[in-house]
Structures are given as C-alpha cells and as structure tokens.
Chain A
Amino acid sequence: MMRFILPLVIFLVLAGFLYVGLGRDTREVPSPLVGKAAPAFVLPLLHDANKQFSPQQMQGQVWLLNVWASWCGACKDEHPLLMDLSRKNIVPIVGLDYKDKREDGEATLRKSGDPYTLVIADADGKVGFDYGVYGVPETYVIDKQGTIKYKLIGALNTKNLQEKILPLVAELQAQ
C-alpha cells in the first residue's frame, strides 16, 4: 500500500508547488525599502519648476507616492482609479513623473485629468532609482513618520486598492 501512497503524496506536493508558482508574478520582487524611511530628495514641481517639493513636507500625514510617466502604458490603465480616489479625497496622492519630458507629462494630465495633489518631475530618474523603481507604475504608501509601509509594483486595480492599499491607509491614518 505504502508503495503507491508515497509517490502519490510526492506528486501532489510537487503539483502544489508548481500550481502556486504558476500564479506568481516573478516581476514582483519584494522591496527592501518597505519598513525603511522614504529616501529624502528635493525635486521641482511639474507645473512650476520654480517650486520644490521634498518628502518632509508630508510629515504628519499618510500619503501615496505614485510613480508614472506619459510614455507608460499601464499608467493609463490605473488612471481612472486614481481619478476616482482623488475625488473621494481620502489620502493625498503625490505624482512622480518619472524620466519624462515636462511638456509630455503636462499634456497627459491636461488631456486625461490630474488626480494628484501635486506632481514632481524626476526628469533623469535619479529619485526613482533611490526608490527602487524599475517598472512604472509603482505606488508607495508612506506613513505619518515618513516610513514606506507598502510598495506596489505595477498598476493599481480595484482588487489591490480595496484589499490592500485603502485598508492600510485607513489603519495608518488612525494611528
């Protein structure tokens, strides 16, 4: 009897591993930045290059940092969700226009709407590099103390927004 059960069990375990592996996104690499302080920077605003933004200005509130670009296709997919989120006025969304031409970034927001509390321009992508950006869009949840609590690689969708990001924001805001 054992002769048949053992191979069956081994087969089922292997099949289980493979099944789980199928559903996993290998692009999603766990970020070492989660739990660490958001890297400091000073960048000009997209709409007004004379004004500057630094993460310290957001101290004391929970905020989202959304990395996007006019050349990024998946950013268009998540755009309606960001618009919706901004209308509900739950949490400030700071947009980081990653490796983009100022005119292109501004034109995109004029055409499809601007969901951001403010937008910063990271023309050479140096700040993006410090934040470990490698696939736009990416969204960070940063708490009142300026610690990165969550990093989403890829586009927002109703599932990750409702199940992960919004509950986390609410939890952090209550602290």
Chain B
Amino acid sequence: MKYLLMIALLLPAFAFAGLAKDMADDPVMERRMMHLAEKVRCLVCQSEPVSNSHSDWANDVRQIMREKMTAGASDQEILDILVERFGKSVLFDPPVDKETIPLWSAPFILLFVGGGILVYQLRKRKGLLVEAQLSAQDEQRVAELLNENSASEQTTVTSNQEKDAQA
C-alpha cells in the first residue's frame, strides 16, 4: 500500500514531463512564438491566452505556430491564418473594421452620452440656483435670523424645502 502511494505521488511528475517535449529546439523562435501566443485567445478556456493554457487545443495552436514560423511565415500571416479559421474573437485585440466598430466605439459613445447628461444636469441645476434669488424682504429676514444665533440650522432647512417646492 505504501509503495502504491509513493508511485501515485510520482504520477504528477510524469504528467509534467509531457510538457517539456512541447518546446521547440530553437529558443529564439520559441520566445517569438510565445510572444505571439500571448495575443491569441484560447477558445477552450476563454479568458486565457494560448501562451498560458495547457489545454490540448492551445498546445496544437502553439505547435502550428512553430511549424508556420519554421516555414518562414510572418507573425501577421500566422494571426491571419487563425482569424480565417476561428474568427476575430480569437484575437485579444481584434482589428478595427466594419464588424468590430461598435465594440471599439462603445466606450467613447458611452463617455460622450454620460458627459452630455452630466453637463445638461449641471447646467439645469445652475439655472435653478439663479432663479432662487431673494427679494429685499427676504434679505431683511435673513439678516434678522442670522443675528439670532440659536435655531439658525432649522431655518436653513425650511428655506431649502421652500426652494425645492418652487422648482
């Protein structure tokens, strides 16, 4: 039983040995490949790039990238090959074109709309403040009230409520 356990503990080490043969012989190309694979979404595990994923599909994509690089393909050519087969969503940074323009412009449109609403609201509020000018009678009352130190807080609240009612 003890030996069986020891063997079982060793098993993950064998599993890891499988990853090593994944590496290309050429370290420069391997680095270029991994750099490119960072830009590609693993479709099986969608928030992960192909460079990080241990999934079978990501392994295959990395292998295909190596083969294409050995055959002399440029980075862009390899990305094009992937887009042709799996669609633009395979890229973390999809190109700006007719189909993706809503995606790219949405943040700016939202910012513009939000900013517009904010400016409109602020202007409206400013307008309200101007409207609420005090008559000479009120000024006099304010002066009187300010002289009485006590109960000043309560009166402020009531006058604010009056203002709201006017609006």
Contacts and interface: CB of A to CB of B under 8 A. Distances in A.
Contact of B43 (A29, A32, A99, A130): A29
Report the interface size class on chain A.
10 to 19
A72 B64 CA distance: 22
Secondary structure dominating the interface of B: helix
B87 A29 contact: yes
B83 interface: yes
A125 B60 contact: yes
Secondary structure dominating the interface of A: loop
A21 interface: no
Interface in B60-102: 60, 64, 83-90
Q: Counting chain B CB atoms within 10 Å of each CB, which of A99, A130, A132 scores highest?
A: A132
Contact of B85 (A26, A30, A129, A135): A129
A138 B86 CA distance: 13
Interface string B123-167: 000000000000000000000000000000000000000000000
A32 B60 contact: no
A132 B86 contact: yes
A79 B158 CA distance: 76
A25 B64 CA distance: 27
A168 interface: no
Interface in B1-51: 43-44, 46
A164 to B, nearest CB: 19
A125 B43 CA distance: 16
Q: Counting chain A CB atoms within 10 Å of each CB, which of B64, B85, B86 scores highest?
A: B85
A33 interface: yes
B57 interface: yes
Given A26-B46, A27-B46, A135-B43, A33 B60 contact: no
Given A30-B87, A129-B60, 7 more contacts: A29-B43, A29-B89, A32-B84, A32-B86, A32-B87, A129-B64, A129-B85
**Top 4 closest A-B pairs, CB basis?**
A132-B85, A134-B43, A32-B87, A134-B57
